[in-house]
Every structure is written in C-alpha cells, then in structure tokens.
Amino acid sequence: MNKRYVTSVASWVLGALAVRVNVAGFNPIGMGVFSAIMASGLVKLPAFIIMGVSVFMFWGFLTGAKYIMVMAAIGAVMAMARDKRERINEVVGALAGALLYGAMEITDILMSEAVNPDYAGLSLVILLTFSVSIVTSRIIEAIMISGKRLNGGGSKNLHKGMENIYEEKIKMIASSFERMSKSIKNMSDKSAVNCISMPALSMGNTDGMDTDDIPKSPQLELVNDIWRGRMMESRDAIALQLSEMSKILKDCTTSSYVFVNMGEQRERYLRLKLKNMGMVLKKIVVLNNRRGINEVNITIKAARGKYVTSRQLETAISDCFGKKYKMSRDMGNIIKKEYCTYNLIEAPNYFVLHGTAKCGRNGESISGDNFTCLELMSGQTLLSVSDGMGHGLKAYRESEMVLTLLEELMEGGFTEEASLRLINSVFIVDSDDISPASLDMGIIDLYSGVCDFMKIGASTTFVKRGGWIEAIKANSMPIGTENIVDMETASKKLYDGDFVIMVSDGVIDAIDMEDKDRYMSDILMDIHSTNPQEMAKNILDRIIEEADGRKNDDMLVMVAGVWDKCA
C-alpha cells in the first residue's frame, strides 16, 4: 500500500486517541495532533470525521461541539494558508492551531463569566498545543522520508548500477575508436615514408629482376605519387572521422544533465492540476542541461473520455514552475489515451524571423548558392549560407550537400567544430568528385541572444542595429581544400531588433568599389524596413542596380531579424 495512506490511517488512530487526553480540563494534545495532520501532506478529511466522533464520545455534546468548532476553524485557516501547496510549514501550522485553540478557550471562559479564570494555566496549555503539533509534524515528515528511502533506495541503486555499466561500455567504444584512429594515422605516416624511399615500379612481370634494372618512367612515378598522396589524404580523413566519434562518445559519458528536485508540494500541485484538466500523471523528471536550461520529461495520459491538447499541458507545466515552457518538436498536438512521455523545455527569450533573395548567374534558373535557417532542439537557431564553386547544378548540389550534412550533424547533437571537421573530411575523401565550397554559419542562442559566427572561405557578414553597422570578415580557405579545416570565429551579443545579413561571394564581387564592405554598409543604412524578406529583396535589387544589371555570379542574400519576446 502507498506509504502516504498507511501513515494517514495511523495518524487518524493517533488523533482519535489524543482527543481523549484531559490536561487540567483542556484538550491540548488532541488539538496539537489535529493541527499537525492539517499541516501535513496526509489525507485530511477522514481525520476530521474520526477525531470528531471521538470528541463527542469522550467530552459530551456541549464540550465536543466546542472542539469540533476549533477543529473546523483550524482546517479552514490552513486550507486558505495552503493555497496551491499540499502542505505548509510545520511551525506556521502549529502556531495557527495553538492560537485558534487558545482564542476559543478564552472566548469560552469569558462567556461562562468565570470568577477566577486560570490564564496562566491556559497559556501553558496553548504552549503545549504548539509543542505537540511541532513534534507530531516532524514525526510524520520523518516517517514519509523514511518510506521514500525504503521504497526508492533499491531501484535508485539499481539505476545507478545500470548507468555505470552503460557508461563503461561507451568509454570502451570511445577508446576503440581512438585506437583505430591512431592506427590508421600511423599507417598513413608509414606510407608517406615508403613513398619517399621506394622507387616507382613499372607495369609488368618483375620476378627475378634486380630493382636497379627496372626502367623508371617519370610519368608512372608521377601517377604513383598522386595515388599515394590520395591514399594518405583518405586515411587521414577517415582517422579524423574516427577521432571525432571518439571525442563525441567520451563527451556522452560526462555529466551533461543534472537532476532537479521539484519538491513534493509542487509535484502534488501539478498532479492535482493535471487531474482537473483531464490528464493522469505517472512520472515526472526535471533535468538541467549543460547550457543551464531546465527540461521536463513527463509521462502522462488523457483520462477516459477526455480530449486534451499539448497546449493545455504547456499551460499546466508553466503555471507549476512559474516559467514559460513549450513542447518539443514532433511531440504531437494531442495527449494520447495511453501513457506517453513528453518533453518540454523552457521557452526561449528571443525568436528569429528570416527572409532571402537570390538569383542565378546571367539569369540562369539554378543558383549554386544555398541557405538554411533551422531552429534546433537545443534552443538555438542555425543560420548558414554556402556558396558552391562555380555555378549551375553541380555547384548547387555541392552547397546543398554541405548544408544538409550540417543540419543533420547539428540536430544529432554534434558541436559546431566537430560538425565542420567531419564535413571537411567528407570533402577531402571525395575530392575527385566534389569541389570545395564556402560556408558562412551563425548559431544564435535564443536564451541569451549571443550569436557565434564561424566562417570558412565565406564573404563578409553584417550586423545591423539601428543606425550602426558592424562587418564580420574572415580570410579562411573553403571546405575541402585542406585536411585541417580553416575556420575563423567571432561572438556577438544581439539585442531586440538587430539584423544579421549574410551574403554569398557574388553579391560582394558585384560591387565595383574599392571599399566593398563600406558600400554594402551604406546600402544597409538606407534600408528602413524591418521585414527581413523585404530587406533581402531590397539589398539584392540595389546590388544588381549597382552592377548595371550584370550577374556574373550567383547571388544570395539572407536577412535574419532577432526580437525579444518580452520587449
């Protein structure tokens, strides 16, 4: 049986016995026990009925009616003091019970017109009521805490043991990846040494021939060197991929989440609120992630005959925690009839809207420039523009592949740096078929408003804030040109109404000015619209006008506006 109900039944029996204790014609013990029960998280109504019947049986009708009135007053006051909580502070409950009981006794003395009322004795009785209530409350609390340890300790230890087993397995896998990475890298280094020392062999049968007699062909030697170099590049790229996987798995073994104790009172309040809304709560876990944001994982179902939406669940969680929470993506709009676990996360402080405008070279229908604006599950927004080398369908597919890989890796939980290194390794391995591509990336934290910029062979990015423009530049090589990806980073705090403007190389190259960034800043200052789509279109129109209609390269403009929800 549930520990709460067992303790409740025991408290009812204790209360029924306590109201029979006579201390100098008063009943402080019974009132103290009753106050403790009313202040606790136990089941309360049966206590009032059982103790009330016991009062009438022992004290008679008139005195029993007086104590029933005291008990009713204590219950009513504590119900109002409790408000949304299931229990109140033990000291507050004891004080309320003692004062109400004392006020009733003093009123009774005044109405009876006693000649020599014993106020000193009554004061001691009130103090005894207060003390008994405190002691009883602490006994009840100790029993409930003990019950939790007895009931939950074993499963907690089992869960911890399973957690340790899986953590060790992940560490072993990570170590294996790391060893494989080092082995492949060593093979690559040995191949490099052999390439230098070993002469190129000609085609054909060389059995029984001295290597000094083998004719050396400069063309064949060149081909061999190229292929050996390609092999070493591929091995280095694969070694990099395995190394990154090792780092990611090791990162999984660190404490990414911290459990948050929501408290019994809050959990009972939420359980009752969900019940009133037509939902049945089975389990709830609150976690604080590595970025300091709370996440709620709640297992619930809709009660029989009830139709409940996810918006109602968001409202209940938000009211319970005093912060705005929203449902994670792909969780559905309807609470199911069977138990399901739903994930809710603190709602961010900012939101982002974006707009784009682009055109192909010389009016071509296909542009090699691509973009993405993606809200991640982590409460961040990914902004990115990729410019494929050249133009047309081939450049489009290459820039599209960069952004697709970036989206998948970022949504999979990879860090920005790891994602870019893995994408670069893919381009290195397939360098025969894939040309390098530039990547301009920004990660906006929707909780803090900080944007982390990363540029790999990309053109200038602009940040507009009212009448102020900042240019973010970099001189790095595109993806797929070097084994170690060359990226430059910068972080900027964005505020309500700021705009981030990303453009492809074709936009900047179309400006026939020495200081291209300054001219671009002047264009941005002349645009007063706050609609990102209109801004993007106006910027592209001005650039085309400046180039006298010439479109020597693909052009793309993306504008992202940041707004504070509370502004």
Whether the full predicted model's pTM is greater than 0.95, yes or no, is no
pLDDT in the model for residue 16 = 83
The angle at the Cα of 19, spanning 15 to 21, to the nearest 5 degrees, equals 120
Q: Give the integer Cα–Cα distance in Å for 231 and 138.
A: 73
- CA 314: distance to chain centroid? 15
Pick the closest to residue 523 from 536, 509, 533 (CA basis).
536
Rama region for 216: left / alpha / beta (φ>0; ψ in -120 to 50; rest): beta
Instruction: Name the pLDDT band for 559 (thresholds 50, 70, 90).
Output: very high
Q: Which residues pair with 298 in a beta bridge?
A: 284, 342
- Smallest CA-to-CA distance from 220 within 193, 194, 199 is with 199
What pLDDT score does 458 carry?
Answer: 87
User: CA 258 to CA 255: how far, in whole Å?
Assistant: 7
Confidence tier at 147 by pLDDT (50, 70, 90):
very low
Please give the average per-residue pLDDT across 114-123, as a whole number: 67
What band does 151 get if pLDDT is binned at 50, 70 and 90?
very low
3-state secondary structure 170-193: HHHHHHHHHHHHHHHHHHHHHHHH
Q: How confident is the model at residue 19 (pLDDT cuts 50, 70, 90)?
A: confident
- The predicted pLDDT at position 289 comes to 77
Residue 251 CA to residue 327 CA, distance in Å, equals 26
Least confident residue range of 92-96, 143-147, 164-168:
164-168
Cα dihedral 400, 401, 404, 407 sign: negative
For residues 262 and 320, give the distance between their C-alpha atoms in angstroms, rounded to a whole number: 10
Percentage above 70 pLDDT, the chain:
74
Phi and psi, residue 394, nearest 5°: -65, -45
Cα–Cα distance between 25 and 21 in angstroms, integer?
A: 9
CB 440 within 8 A of CB 382: no
The answer on pLDDT for 9 being more than 70 is yes
Per-residue confidence at 154, pLDDT binned at 50, 70, 90?
Answer: very low
pLDDT at 227 exceeding the cut of 80: no
- What is the C-alpha separation between 332 and 387, in angstroms, rounded? 36
Q: Is the pLDDT of residue 198 over 90?
A: no
Q: How do residues 22-61 score in pLDDT, each as one tens digit?
A: 877 787 888 888 888 888 878 788 888 888 888 888 888 8
pLDDT at 115 over 60: no
Who wins on pLDDT, 246 or 209? Answer: 246
List beta partners, residue 326: 345
* Mean pLDDT estimate for the chain: 78
The answer to whether 444 and 499 have CB atoms below 8 angstroms apart is: no
Print the SS3 string covering 70-105. HHHHHHHHHHHHHCCCCCCCHHHHHHHHHHHHHHHH
Helix (H) or strand (E) holding 551: none
